[in-house]
Amino acid sequence: MLGTFLFSNSQIPLGLEYQRNIESIQLNNNKNLLLNNTSYLIAKNNQSYKIGYGLEIQEALLGDFGGLYVFGLSTDFDYRIQFIPIIFNVNAFIGGGGGSSAPDGSGLVYRHAYGIKTQLNSSTDFLLRYSIYNFPTGDISGNQFQVGFSYLIDSVFNTNVYASKISKQSILAQGVIMDLDVDDSGRLDKDSYETLLSFEYANKLTKKIDGLIRLQSAISGKIDGFMGYYSGFSYNILEQNTIRWNINTLIGSCGGGSMRTSGGLSYLLETGIDFDVNKNTISINTGHNKSYNGSFAANYIQCGLKYNFESTIGIPNKSTHGSEDEFQNSKLTIKSGLVTHISPTGLDYNDKEYVDMSLLNFAIYYPITYFELLAETRWAAFGDYGAYAEGLIGLSIPLMNYKNISISLPIYIVVAGGGGIDVGEGIGTQFNLSAEYNLSKNNALSFSVGKLNMYKGNYKPLSFNIGLSQDLFFPLKKYTKL
């Protein structure tokens, strides 16, 4: 996480860059693999250059491997060429992933790419890059062009409310019950109701339209490993006092868990009601999830709690900045590193003894009163479990602070699956003991040890993690404080 040192000064304003591009990888023994790549980058923007780093999510849309996902760390460098409207761009990525019986090996993936950007407006660039992509321990690789765009939101972090525009946003956590039949999954021999956990970020674009990003994963012993990643829009049809009727449409991908989603491309159509309760919202929706080329098509109902907030993170939707008294300076900590699971005694779904596995991870920590709220994703990169991934949410309890050293107790709920790992119902817990050493005012080196326990599964490894973290600061409207 080199960027954590490049951007370590809390006085340097940083932006947030959203990148999206597609590339088609030619395979020898399978249909071409069409990947859709989405990056969320912390960006330092100067007149002649821009440096960014952050999380990238890659999803299969077309081909034979619907349900192939790759998560990892991306770095991006722009150099503006004077007197001509062209920006020279270099990009690098390392991560892990796989799925849907793809030849992904251990899951390790790397890519380096170079190309150009041309400015479409003050915030948006058209992107064309030549990409060299490889699963070095698997059989997926190729050299091809990426085509896409990037969108920069300037002065998001380490800034004051007068220098930035404010965005209305929300985070929704919800449970999903999906009605499946034998045509939806190769693991089902009769109709079944299965449960998923879903997280959604919404950014208000206009008075009636929100932009949506949704990530969901199965909590099920029958379809563990099934997940979906979507983006789209929500439209407010009717609003009466604290009640709103919305329709949502999202497009993206889903797969894994032997679900019949073909190349992965799929969509969601849904409608539902939001009820405001104090400053938060209860959301109830019903909808239809369908694969574009596969036989998977299912109705579902979902219910959850939405946390509403206003901050500089997101696409601006307020031209006025408000007074400084309305806002507080909030901290967000991002962490990345390497997690190693020491193999437990037992056999996986393929009747093989477990071996040690290492995963790359990316985490966000947000302080709430005495605790820290945690969200983390991990993806297998070394071992023999290329399609295995974990999503974690939890709380960190501080135990001790002494000079540059702090000790805490992170407690997680874990959703996991893929790679032939016996994860039971796909949900579990992990308890860690974590130590941090402050390298500078806003950067720390962390180490943790813990135990992962998957409910009704035999995968219960001892886990070690080492990583780097960076503190970022942003204006947040005071009433949205947790």
pLDDT digits (tens, 9 = 90+) for 337-365: 999 999 999 999 999 999 999 999 999 99
In a domain, 324, yes or no: no
Are residues 396 and 425 located together in one domain of the fold?
yes
* pLDDT at res. 81: 83
Are residues 370 and 443 located together in one domain of the fold?
yes
Are residues 232 and 107 located together in one domain of the fold?
no
In a domain, 173, yes or no: yes
| Identity of the residue numbered 254 | C
* pLDDT at res. 438: 94
In a domain, 295, yes or no: yes
Total structural domains in the chain? Answer: 3
Are residues 214 and 337 located together in one domain of the fold?
no
Q: How many other β-carbons are positioned within 10 Å of the β-carbon of residue 250?
A: 22
CATH of the domain at 52: 2.40.160
Three-class secondary structure of residue 366 per DSSP:
strand
* pLDDT at res. 262: 93
Are residues 57 and 142 located together in one domain of the fold?
yes
d(CA 366, CA 79): 33
Are residues 155 and 172 located together in one domain of the fold?
no
Are residues 192 and 304 located together in one domain of the fold?
yes
Mark which of 248, 281, 311 sits at the end of a domain. 311
Are residues 431 and 334 located together in one domain of the fold?
yes
What parts of the chain have a pLDDT lower than 70? 1-11, 161-164, 318-324, 479-482
Three-class secondary structure of residue 218 per DSSP:
strand
Residue 23 belongs to domain spanning:
3-160
Question: What is the torsional sign of CA 201, 391, 16, 398?
Answer: positive
pLDDT tens digits for range 374-419: 999 999 999 989 889 999 999 999 999 998 999 999 999 999 999 9
In a domain, 321, yes or no: no
Burial of residue 335 (number of CB atoms within 10 Å: 0-12, 13-18, 19+) = buried
Mark which of 160, 177, 201 sits at the end of a domain. 160
CATH of the domain at 355: 2.40.160.20
Mark which of 105, 131, 160 sits at the end of a domain. 160
Are residues 131 and 239 located together in one domain of the fold?
no
Nearest to 89 by CA among 119, 121, 53, 128: 128
In a domain, 481, yes or no: no
* pLDDT at res. 479: 64
In a domain, 388, yes or no: yes
Are residues 417 and 448 located together in one domain of the fold?
yes
* pLDDT at res. 4: 44
In a domain, 323, yes or no: no
DSSP secondary structure letter of residue 318 = B
Beta bridge partner(s), residue 94: 73, 110
* pLDDT at res. 482: 45
* pLDDT at res. 379: 95
Are residues 390 and 241 located together in one domain of the fold?
no
* pLDDT at res. 323: 62
* pLDDT at res. 5: 43
Query: Could you give the C-alpha distances from 198 to 152, 441, 456, in angstroms and in order?
Result: 27, 35, 21
Are residues 173 and 152 located together in one domain of the fold?
no
